[in-house]
Amino acid sequence: MPTPPQRDPGAPTIVIGAGPHGLAAAALLNRSGEPAVILERCDRVGASWAQRYDHLRLHTTPSTSKLPGLSVPRQAGRWVSRDDYVRYLQGYVVHHRLDVRVATPVQRVVRAEPGSGAQWLVHTPDGPVPTGAVVVATGRCHTPNIPDWPGRSTFTGTLLHSAHYRSPAPYRRQHVLVVGAGNSGTEIASALAGAGAERVRIAVRTPPNILPRSSARWHAAGRLTEALPLAWRDRTSLLTQRLAVPDLTSRGLPRPRTGLYTRNAREGVNPVLDHGFVDAVRSGQVEPVAAVQAFDGPYVILADGTRLRPDTVIAATGYRPHLHDLVGSLGVLDEAGQPLSVGAQTHPAAPRLYFAGYTNPLTGVLRQAGIEARAIAHALCREKARTSRFTPQLGERTADALRKGHAPS
C-alpha cells in the first residue's frame, strides 16, 4: 500500500452509519492514516442489530463474524447471540478509539461548490459538514419493506413486519401467518411453533434452498468455489441439499429447482440455514402455504385461492436500502435504489463517495465488511496521493461543523 499522504487532521472522512460496515471502514481508515468520524442517526452503536428479534443468532461462526482488528470474545460461543454481538460492536468502538457521533442523522449528501476545497457537504440538523470523502454504510437492510398487497388496508387482524417482531410470547394461542421463507421467516415460524402458537403457517412464493446449520462449512465452501462455473456450483448445491435435507414436498414445500448460487447472483438471496424449521415442517407444527395475493377484511387470500383468517400476519419480506433521500440527486443509484458502485469502486460522477454493506455474498456479510473496509481505505489513500491535499481552511470548517454536533460516544 502506498505511504499515506500528509493530511489535515481537522478534515476527516465522514462515515455514515455505526453498524459493522461503518465501524470497520472507520477503523481501517484510521489505521491507514486517514482520520474518520462516524455519524449515526440512532442513540447507540449497532442500533439496527439491537432492534432485531430476541432469539436471533448469527449464521456465521465467530472467526467469520469478527471485524478487522478485534476477535469476537470466546465466551460468546459458537453461534453468537444478538446481544453479545451488539456488545462486541460497542467494544470495537472502544478498542479502536473510534469517533462516533450518535443521535446525528445525515439528511443528505451533496456536492460542494467548486473551489471550496471540499468534495462533499454532509447535511445534518446542526448544519452542513464539508469533507473530502464519504463512506455511506447505512446498509441494505435499512427500511422494512411490506408489499402493497391489494386490500392490505382492510385487514382487521394484526399486520407487522418482521423488523418489529421481538419474541414469540405475545402470539401464544394465536393463528399466525408468516410471509416469506428466508432465514428470518423460517426462524420466526419455528420459534412461534415451539412457543405455543395455536397454528403457524408460512407463505412461500419460491421454495428456499435449505442447508443444515453448519454455516462455517457452507461459507467456507462458498469461498473455495467462487472461481468455478455457476452451473457446476448449482448442481453441487442441489445435490448437497438432497443428501442433507429431507424431502418436504408432501408437507407443501417442494425442493427448489434453482441452485443457491444462481439465486444469490440474481436476487441477492442466501440459503436458509436450518434452525429447526425442517423438523417443524415435518411434524406439522409449521404448515407451508401458497404466496399471499391479497387481503379482504379479516381474510388473507393466497395465490391458489385459499382464504385464511389469521390473527396476526408477520411479513418477513425484506428491506430496502432507502438511499434516495440521502444521495438520490447524485445519479449513483440504479432503478431499484441500489448503489451502482460498491466497495472500493466509485461512480465516475461521484469520486470519493463510497458505499459499504450493500451486497449479500454467500461468503458472509460480516466477513465482507472487513474486505470492503480494507479496499476503501486503500483506494482512498491512493486517490489522495494522486490529488492535491485539502486546504487548512477545509479542516477548520469541518472541525467547527462537527463541534456543533454531538460529542463522541
**Is 408 among the domain residues?**
no
Residues 252 and 364 in one domain: no
Domain boundary among 282, 303, 318: 318
Contacts of residue 230, Cβ cutoff 8 Å, sequence gap at least 6: 259, 261, 262, 265
> What are the CA-CA distances from residue 42 to residues 7, 15, 103 (Å)?
30, 14, 5
Residue 383: what pLDDT? 79
Residues 195 and 239 in one domain: yes
What's the chain's Rg over C-alpha atoms?
Answer: 23
Residue 43's nearest CA partner among 90, 98, 97, 10 is: 90
Residue 395: what pLDDT? 62
Residue 407: what pLDDT? 43
Residues 159 and 238 in one domain: yes
Residues 39 and 65 in one domain: yes
Report d(CA 58, CA 75) in Å as an integer: 14
pLDDT along the chain (409 residues), means of 10: 36 94 98 96 95 92 93 93 97 98 97 89 95 96 96 98 97 97 97 96 96 65 67 84 92 93 90 93 97 98 98 97 96 96 95 96 91 96 68 59 56
Domain boundary among 272, 299, 318: 318
- Residue 307 structural domain: 146-318
Report d(CA 46, CA 89) in Å as an integer: 6
Residue 408: what pLDDT? 42
Chain-centroid distance of CA 238 in Å reads 26
Residue 395's CATH number: 3.50.50.60
Domain boundary among 301, 318, 335: 318
Residues 165 and 252 in one domain: yes
Residues 153 and 268 in one domain: yes
Q: Phi and psi dihedrals of 14, rounded to 5?
A: -95, 125
Residues 190 and 231 in one domain: yes
Chain-centroid distance of CA 24 in Å reads 14
**Is 8 among the domain residues?**
no
Residues 334 and 247 in one domain: no
**C-alpha dihedral, 366 to 368 to 370 to 375, nearest 10°:** -160
Residues 46 and 109 in one domain: yes
**Is 364 among the domain residues?**
yes
Residues 137 and 192 in one domain: no
Residue 3: what pLDDT? 32
Number of domains in the chain: 2
